[in-house]
Each structure stands twice: as structure tokens, then as C-alpha cells.
Structure 1
């Protein structure tokens, strides 16, 4: 797909970009779907994300015997049943689906469950999540196509676990969601956790389903037996908004985005503060509409420990900034759908800049002159790398291979992107 834009790839400052509506949040949608499956009764959602990752979660829940249907844009979920697989569960490349479902299936499934998906899904870390489940009696039997999961012979009353969460907060989230469905709930402990803001997000959604979970430093207390069905509007996706916010920063134009919630616990809402620190201006027009105006006045200086998924888009924006940038807290990026730290450095160079990777956690970017003709950028089948390439193309043009990889979380991305630019 060509990233070239009108007016010889130069977008004049001062004219507003066309307003956009961001899609629903993947992180919230998959949490809410599983909570609705765990909670007895009928839950109803509006605003859920329609994309590959959430499709695999919905399909898995259906194949596990949960009632799930769509009625005029509303998802209706009949929850509270024990899962029983009618056949293999295909999970695509969705890490949230696999890691959220694993504890529930390992402790409550009626019979063995076959799990399959893209090869990369099973290459990503699972050991720290499997270890406590195997200690409770579950068995994990991997092979070339996926794995068999054989549930524990006895359902525990509650969970009391210490978890190694250095590689992913999703290990803790999956266990916390299942603990909320046990009679005695559970207590989870850790010494270090990746992307801790996602634990805050999970706590927020546990509470919205009636579980008054308490998150403390190094410990999570989850009451059991309190989950109840809910009717909810799911929020827009701060992760999906990131590339569009970067577009306003790169072009010096203003952009209105909605629906977004300023009080949402999604860690990627930090994008606004990062851009404001670099000279952009942001204001809330109402309770769901945000306006951001560029341009960047300086380079980016950000610790992304709480929001590492912003790394690729910010790396691309740093290549267009008026001064060098430093992005820190990126140690989980090599473990994502691709090695996003290496891919982000490659993207910066593709955009004419210099990229220095320091250890496994820091990327320093020095902008350079716009590059000339070059091969298409390969996003490595990673949606966030494709989003980042779109940002870089605002000034540098070029072409991106495999543009359809955005379907993982934002199938309409390119249409919305072109609409924002008035193309």
C-alpha cells in the first residue's frame, strides 16, 4: 500500500484534520467478554471492538458452550456456565485471548481443551502463567500446532499465588479474572510486573462487574462470588487513537477524536501527556471528545513502562520531530507480535533517521532528512508497526507491505486514516 499523500506529501499546518471515531478498546472488550462469561446472568454490551482479536475471543466462548449473540449492534452473553469445548479453539495471534482463558479453562473446564493459533502465539512467554496452574494439577501438552490443556482434577476454593509477572501483566490479569469467579476469590502477589497500568484497568472492570478487587503494591486481593451480569457501553480505544494523535502532532494541525474517556484506566491514554510535554496542545470539548493540536516543538522524552504499545508509533513520530528523542521502558517490546523494538529501530532508519537501541529497554532517535526511493517497509505482520508506518508516511511517503495486518485490532484503519487526511 502506498503511503504517499496529496500535495507532494506535505500537509500544510493550520487546517484541521477531519474528525474521527476511534474503535472500541481491545483490552477492555476481551476483559469484558470474559467477565460476562464468568458472571451468572445475561450481560449486554455496546461499543465492543469488531476485530480479529475480539472475534477469536467471542468464537472461543461460543465453542466453550457460552450463549453469545449479536442483536442490533448489542452483544448479549449468557454467563455463569462451566466451559466445555465442542472442538479445538482457534485463537489466531491473540495473546489476551490465550492468557485470559488459560486459568479459567485450567481450573473449571469440563474435560480437556485443544488450543490452536498462529505459531507466534505459542512462541510468546507462557511459562510463568502455566507454572501455578500446573502446581494446582493442570497439564499443558504443547506440540507443533498448539497444545492440549487438561484441567486440574479439583476446583480450588480460592487462589493464593505468587506469580512471576516480569514478562507480562496478562498472567496476573488472567488469574485475577478467574479468581473472581471462585467462591473464595484469591490473593495474587509479585515482586515486579510489566505494564502495571493494565492491572489498574483490570481492577476497574472487575469492579464494574461487582467484584471490589483491591490493587496494592505487589499484591491483589480479589473477593470471590460477587460477579454479576451487567449492561454496559464499552469505551473507545486509546491504543487505536495513538496513530491519529501522532498525525496531528506531526502535521501541526488539529484533530478531534471520540469517543474517548478521560477517566479510563487504559494506560495508552498517556499519549496525550507525552505529546503535550513535546509542545502539543490538548483540550476536552465534552465528556467524550478530545481535540489535539500540533506541531511538536521538541523531541519526545518518555518512559513507556506503563504503555509500551505506544513505542512503535512514538518511534515513527520521533523520526519526524524537530530534535532527538528518547523512549524508555521498552523491555517487553521484543516479546510482542514481532520484536517491536528491533522493528521500530528499522522503521526509524527507513524514515531517514538514526536509531540507537540501548540494552532491551531504550530507543534513541535522531531525525534525518527525508529519504529517497526505498523498498516497501515490512511491518512483520504486526498491526502496530503498520500504524507506525502510516505516521512516518505523512512526511516521507513510501509503501508498506501487508497492510491488512491491521485487521488484528483495527480492520478499518486505512479507510479511517484516509478519511482523516481528506484523501
Structure 2
């Protein structure tokens, strides 16, 4: 009788199996790609050579071999393989899994528990794995498409090694296609251009490629299809993108840093990637405006206005015409002079305000609407700047117990060149007035 949650197919099962399942590697050496994880000097290679496999969390996109590698690790270490999914498994099912693993351990057999989508478990459920990992009841191998740093408990991460699996390269996918042709004993009915297009449609996902190949191989075609014929019959696979997940933050980070790095072409590419994946243009308009404030600042004060105008244009035109206005704002920001001096100054002032607590302003700049306040010295000695010949009194406006502090240090780029001249000019006058 098969163990609970053991998904290994029965030898007598003659149900038709998908190509991706039939082509599943039988040894770790057959796995395509992931050399950084499976090579002789890689983390898994070293662990297997030493005969000491620890708990692991595989982090990577779909279709890159997480489940396959986990199953082959169980074979390589003579552990019983049990697979569950965090989406479909609750606390009662987990208890049964742990109880079965304890019985197996008493009989001298270890258990490799593979948990797909492990980030879907809540904190309490994740904590439930810890005692069984520590006493050796299970060797945990988790798989997640989300950043473990954000999605998994620190205690679970401290007992596991996170290994990053990468999307398959074009060469990797070509090897996979060749392997499929060998198993099916015939070539794909595609010309060279269409073959490249098919691989591109998979977008780094090996399982997706095999599913596409299975579709293509089922067609009754007299002559090989070209690229146009293939695209008529198949649609490009949707890009991997979750508007609330890791992909979202990766792409917006790439967009922001491309602008900061003064690369309009890269900025347009990431902008287009996010739009194609279904990102809300209003979110992008907001982030583009933030870039103007954070990274251009007073080096080009017009940048904010350009962003706000482009945002307003989008609201009036809508999609897709309005997105061109946002693209133009991106180009403007990427090529604008950069300065985060105002941003740095603001953060420094916030820290100083927090550190100095409730220090009073100096009395000479306080208003004195009552006699008592006048008697206390409020307003005494205040110099009205407009009465000075050059419109500058040079007085100190910081709390007396704090002393003058400089937060804003403009860069020598764009409009801030002029701002620096003004800062230096007033600094010289202030020094002159205080020494006179």
C-alpha cells in the first residue's frame, strides 16, 4: 500500500502521461541547467559527496527543476520521498505526514519531505516543521517562487540552506527540445526560425517548453511551419509576473536603477516589460514622479513638472496613448542631471529632529504677543532680513543647544551648480556677520 502523500506513479499505471513527466530526469546528472547548484563544487555537489545532505529551500521561477531535483535527491540519499503542496495541505494533513515519517524512522528509514509553494504556509505552520527537522524525523526540501527572506520564518531559514535556481537559458531549452525529439523519435515540424520562436515562447520555463512541444507534435503538418505559421497556432506564454510579488519588485527596481544610471533605453525596456505584464500605468506614473524627486531633485527642478504633466496626460488620454507620455517622462529623467542632495538633506534633518527631541527655537526668532513673553526675551534681538542692505542678516535659527548644522550639500551638476554658489555665498556672509 502506498504511503500517504507519496505521489510516485504505480508501475501498473498505464494512464497517458504528459511529455514533461515522461521526460523527467532519472538521475541528477541528467538535469539540464542549474550547474551552480548541481556541479561538483556547488553546494549540493559538496553535500552529496560528503554524504551529508541538510534541509534546503529551492528559490526560483516555475519550470526550472525544483520538484525533479528534490525527487532525485531522495533517490541519491536513499530517503523516502514524500511530496505535499502548501496550497492543498492543512494542519491535520501535516500531522499525518509527520506521524508517518516518525514510524518510518523507527523502522530505520529516513524521509525527504518536499513542500511545494512552502511560502504559502503561515508562520504557525512553518514553525510546525522545526521540531521534526531538529530531531531528524524529516529532511525538509522546500520550493518557492517568492523571495524566502520575505516569505519564510527566520527560524526555518536558519535551519535550511537557500539555493537559487535560475530560469533556463536558450541553450538549456535547446538541449531539452533535442531530448524531447529523441524520445518521440522525430523532429519538430518547424523551420529554424520557428524553432527559435518556440523556445522564446517558453520564456525560460522547461515545463512550458515541453508542453508547447507536445502540442506542436500533435499537429498534422505536411511541411515544416515557419515563424508566422507557428505564432498563428500558438500564443506567446505570459511573462512571469505577480503584481504583488517578487517579480513586481524586481522589475520596478530595474526600472528605477536604469533611470538613476542615465540609461533611457534600459528604462524604456523595463517600462515596457511591466506594461506587457499588466502593471497599472498609474502605479508607474507615481513611481516615475518619485524618481524625479529622489534622484534628480534640484539638479533639474523642471523634472517634477514633466512627470506630473505626463501623469495628467495619461489620465486624460488613457491607455494605450497616454503611456507614451509616461515613456517621454522616463526618457527626460534618464537624461537629466542627477542629484539626491535634497533627499539626503531631508533624511539627515529628520534624524536630527528625532535626536534633538523638543529643543526650543532661539528666543530671538520667537513672536512675543504678550507682555510676559516680551519680559522673557521673546523676539529680543531679532534682525529683520529685509532691513539689511543685501537682504541677509546672518542670524542663527537653530536651537541654542544644538548649534548650526549643515544638511544640504548640493552637487556640482545641473541647476544645483547655481544652488551651490548660493549656499557658499550665504555661508561666507554668515561667517563675516558673526565675526564683525
Same fold (TM over 0.5): no
TM-score bucket of the superposed structures, by smaller chain: under 0.3
- Greater per-residue helix proportion: 2
Normalised by the size of structure 2, how large is the TM-score? 0.22
- Flag the structure with larger Rg: 2
Relative contact order, higher structure (CA 8 A, sep 6+): 1
